[in-house]
């Protein structure tokens, strides 16, 4: 059902006409449809209780956390689809990315995608077919979110929960793709 809705929206907007040749919109739609049901399940059974705990912790530590909670929820959704970043430009041919460039792509994916779509940069070849489908990338992204959260919020509580929501999103994705088993 989700796949049909997204497909119809893509056809109406003629989205594929402005995408570069290496961008695979059909693959992105398939990935969203694959992850949608488990994302709803995790949202109800994991994210909602963590969000309630976050609000209570905010009350206990006398911090206003509702804005940060909303941002953390967006990070959860974003990080749930982040490991499939390679699906967006899976057939890109270009300079082979080194380890630092791969991590910069992982950490700043929206900026990278913007510059790719605007054709201001050439795509990097990320090497393996699933470079971000592993525990190491999940841990690195979580640490990045914690540091980023500490910088933007000046609060360890908010930084911790930003990183936790990002970790849970990434973890949910890896679980659906059977990279992690519980």
Alpha-carbon span 96 to 181, nearest angstrom: 31
Q: Is the pLDDT of residue 6 over 70?
A: no
Give yes or no for a contact between 127 and 95, defined as CB atoms under 8 angstroms apart: no
How much is the pTM?
Answer: 0.84
> Is the model more confident about 116 or about 138?
138
The overall longest dimension of the chain from CA atoms, in Å, is: 52
* Average pLDDT score, the chain: 84
Give how far Cα 95 sits from Cα of 16, 36, 121, Å: 24, 33, 11
Residue 99: what pLDDT? 85
Residue 165: what pLDDT? 97
pLDDT interval class at 2 (50, 70, 90): low
Alpha-carbon span 73 to 50, nearest angstrom: 10
Q: pLDDT by residue (tens digit) across 13-68?
A: 555 555 666 666 677 777 777 888 888 899 999 999 999 999 999 999 999 999 99
Q: Which residue has the tokens 């899976």?
A: 90
Q: pLDDT by residue (tens digit) across 108-128?
A: 988 988 888 788 888 887 776
Residues in the chain: 182
**Would you give the end-to-end CA distance of the chain in angstroms?**
28
Q: 147 Cβ partners below 8 Å, 6+ apart?
A: 159
**Closest residue by Cα to residue 176 from 31, 5, 24:** 31
Residue 18: what pLDDT? 56
């Amino acid at each position: 059902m989700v796949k049909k809705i997204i497909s119809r929206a893509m056809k109406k907007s003629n989205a594929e006409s402005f995408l570069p040749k290496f961008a695979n919109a059909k693959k992105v739609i398939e990935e969203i449809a694959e992850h949608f049901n488990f994302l709803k399940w995790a949202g109800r059974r994991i994210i909602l209780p963590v969000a309630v705990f976050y609000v209570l912790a905010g009350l206990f530590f006398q911090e206003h956390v509702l804005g940060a909670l909303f941002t953390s929820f967006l990070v959860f959704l974003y990080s749930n689809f982040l490991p499939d970043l390679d699906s967006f430009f899976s057939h890109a041919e270009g300079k082979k990315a080194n380890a630092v460039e791969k991590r910069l792509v992982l950490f700043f994916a929206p900026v990278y995608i913007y510059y790719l779509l605007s054709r201001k940069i050439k795509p990097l070849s990320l090497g393996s077919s699933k470079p971000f489908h592993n525990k190491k990338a999940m841990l690195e992204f979580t640490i990045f979110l914690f540091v980023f959260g500490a910088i933007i919020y000046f609060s360890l509580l908010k930084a911790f929960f930003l990183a936790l929501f990002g970790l849970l999103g990434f973890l949910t994705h890896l679980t659906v793709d059977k990279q992690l088993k519980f």
